[in-house]
Amino acid sequence: MKFDKIISSILIILLVVAISATVYIIINPNPGEKFTEFYILGAGDVAGNYPTNLNLNKPGNLTIGIVNHEHATTSYNLITTLNGTTITNENYTLANNETKMINYTFTPTKTGNQTLELMLYKLPNNGTVYRSLLLYVNVI
């Protein structure tokens, strides 16, 4: 009889722990991976048709996409350079799951093969690039 009470008590304790754990998991689900999407789109807003062959002093157009999946409002610094010369330096703040589409135009002022670099910093860390993209451009 005493053994039955001990076993019953243990089973009741285990049942309470299991129910408590289940309720905790339902109330506080695992948020998943934290990350930021960073991409460029070419003409027609597709992943392609990039302005890789340009004429001197003629603009190239892109769409830059930033999507916040960091599970919190996040601030970013976007810096673009053409052959190491800074073209733009802009800050954006996005709420969780917010998407920012940026119409971006750049105009090369030299001929030859050039590199357009897009660097995204997740603030307040402006010393380390969080995401980066390169586009190689031939200018005639």
- For residues 77 and 118, the answer to whether their CB atoms sit within 8 Å is no
The verdict on 68 and 135 lying in the same domain is: yes
Task: Say if residue 71's pLDDT is above 90.
Answer: yes
- Quote the domain boundaries for residue 15: 1-30
pLDDT score recorded for residue 111: 94
Confidence of residue 55 (pLDDT cuts 50, 70, 90): very high
The verdict on 126 and 61 lying in the same domain is: yes
3-state SS assignment for residue 135: strand
The verdict on 73 and 130 lying in the same domain is: yes
Q: Using CA atoms, how far apart are residues 140 and 136, in angstroms rounded to an integer?
A: 13
**82-95: per-residue pLDDT in tens?**
999 999 999 999 99
The verdict on 39 and 20 lying in the same domain is: no
Task: Say if residue 30's pLDDT is above 80.
Answer: no
Task: Say if residue 28's pLDDT is above 90.
Answer: no
Assign residue 84 the CATH number of its domain.
2.60.40.10
Q: What is the pTM of this model?
A: 0.78
In sign, the C-alpha dihedral spanning 82, 84, 89, 91 is: positive
* Residue 125: C-alpha distances to residues 9, 32, 67 (Å): 53, 22, 18
